[in-house]
């Protein structure tokens, strides 16, 4: 059964005390999750070990880094390698978030290297893709997002692509309060699954979780996650509010 994931992207938010409190609040609530349903906390690097500690013993809960570098070690001041993340027990890594693409110049080619590195060290990449508003307004969103996938992921083997999670995050919906409609999300997710199927076949494409990201909240998660090709969400703002993120976890089908 395809996995369903509620992933929290805290971005560059919270102090240590606030992070501790938020994790405690979210984790104290009972969530009736099945084996294929997962919750992933993409916390800032300084809080990864804290989050690892808080989720220990909780079967459906995992941590993610928000980035990793293209190299495994060396003179790259300020960077963090996939190998380091593996060594502390992190299981996921968010790659290619639109903020990294825009503010840090991450290209499809660089993300191809990062995805390869993450997979080499046993991390599951949550690969973000998505179009800006002007691309959507011109009607070119399907081609745009398809190109992101092709240029970053299509040199991966069948075995590797099955280990990926994809997050479709239209840039015009990130942090804007403007969510894609459930129909818009489903249309793009179905397109992405088709793109994967053309390259890797239906069975493989049917196994890759595709998350939606862009102003997901407790109030709209259920409708979005009810779409057949929407396998959960990558959540920014609402993941910083325990009650809201709790509702999002409970919206996993
Ligand atoms: C994100 O950071 O990936 C995101 C989707 O943010 P938000 O939920 O705040 O739109």
Q: Kindly give the residue spans of alpha helices, DSSP state H, lying in the chain.
A: 16-28, 48-55, 82-87, 98-103, 108-120, 133-138, 141-153, 158-161, 182-200, 202-205, 221-225, 242-250
The domain that holds 59 is classified in CATH as: 3.20.20.70
| Cα–Cα separations (whole angstroms), residue 33 to 37, 97, 193, 253 | 6, 27, 25, 10
Grouping H, G, I as helix, E, B as strand and the rest as coil, residue 125 is: strand
How many helical (H) and strand (E) elements, i.e. helices and strands, does the chain have?
12, 8
Residue 34 is predicted with a pLDDT of 96
Q: Which residue has the tokens 């397109």?
A: 191
For ligand 1, atom 6, name the residue with the nearest CA: 236
Q: Which two tokens stand for residue 134?
A: 């002007």
Cβ 125 under 6 angstroms from ligand 1: no
Residue 183 is predicted with a pLDDT of 97
> Which H or E run includes 126?
strand 124-129
* Contacts of residue 133, Cβ cutoff 8 Å, sequence gap at least 6: 171, 172
Comparing CA positions, the residue from 118, 87, 126 lying closest to residue 213 is: 126
Active-site residue set: 97, 169
What 8-state DSSP symbol labels residue 180?
P
Residues spanned by the domain of 69: 4-250
- Could you read off the pLDDT of 38-79 as tens digits, one per residue? 999 999 999 999 999 999 999 999 999 999 999 999 999 999
Grouping H, G, I as helix, E, B as strand and the rest as coil, residue 237 is: helix
**Cα separation of 21 and 242, whole Å?**
9
- Could you read off the pLDDT of 187-217 as tens digits, one per residue? 999 999 999 999 999 999 999 999 999 999 9
Are 15 and 240 contacting, i.e. CB atoms less than 8 angstroms apart? no
What's the CA-to-centroid distance between 12 and ligand 1, angstroms?
Answer: 12
Grouping H, G, I as helix, E, B as strand and the rest as coil, residue 148 is: helix
Are 42 and 65 contacting, i.e. CB atoms less than 8 angstroms apart? yes
**Cα separation of 123 and 171, whole Å?**
25
For ligand 1, atom 3, name the residue with the nearest CA: 236
**Cα separation of 236 and 239, whole Å?**
6
pLDDT band of 178, cuts 50, 70, 90: confident
pTM over 0.95, yes/no: yes
Atom of ligand 1 nearest to the CA of 99: 2
Atom of ligand 1 nearest to the CA of 169: 5
Burial of 137 (0-12, 13-18, 19+ CB in 10 A): exposed
**Cα separation of 66 and 95, whole Å?**
7
Beta bridge partners of 4: 37
Cβ 9 under 6 angstroms from ligand 1: yes
**Cα separation of 230 and 189, whole Å?**
7
Cβ 64 under 6 angstroms from ligand 1: no
- Could you read off the pLDDT of 210-248 as tens digits, one per residue? 999 999 999 999 999 999 999 999 999 999 999 999 999
pLDDT band of 6, cuts 50, 70, 90: very high
- Count up the domains in the chain and report the number: 1
Residue 250 is predicted with a pLDDT of 97
What's the CA-to-centroid distance between 208 and ligand 1, angstroms?
Answer: 21
């Amino acid at each position: 059964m395809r996995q369903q994931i509620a992933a929290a992207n805290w971005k560059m938010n919270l102090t240590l005390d606030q992070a501790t409190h938020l994790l405690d609040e979210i984790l104290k609530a009972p969530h009736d999750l099945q084996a294929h349903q997962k919750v992933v906390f993409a916390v800032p690097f300084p809080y990864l070990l804290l989050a690892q500690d808080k989720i220990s013993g909780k079967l459906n809960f995992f941590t993610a880094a928000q980035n990793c570098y293209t190299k495994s070690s060396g003179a790259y001041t300020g960077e963090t390698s996939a190998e380091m993340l593996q060594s502390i027990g992190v299981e996921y890594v968010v790659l290619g978030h639109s903020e990294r693409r825009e503010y840090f110049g991450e290209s499809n080619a660089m993300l191809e290297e990062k995805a390869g590195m993450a997979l080499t060290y046993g991390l599951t990449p949550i690969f973000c893709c998505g179009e800006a508003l002007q691309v959507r307004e011109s009607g070119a969103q399907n081609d745009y997002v398809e190109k992101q996938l092709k240029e970053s992921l299509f040199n991966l083997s069948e075995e590797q692509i099955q280990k990926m999670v994809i997050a479709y995050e239209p840039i015009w919906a990130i942090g804007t309060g403007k969510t894609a409609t459930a129909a818009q999300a489903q249309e793009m997710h179905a397109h992405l699954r088709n793109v994967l199927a053309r390259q890797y076949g239906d069975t493989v494409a049917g196994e890759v979780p595709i998350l939606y990201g862009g102003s997901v909240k407790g109030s709209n998660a259920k409708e979005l996650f009810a779409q057949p090709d929407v396998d959960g969400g990558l959540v920014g703002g609402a993941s910083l509010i325990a009650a809201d993120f709790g509702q999002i976890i409970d919206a996993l089908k």
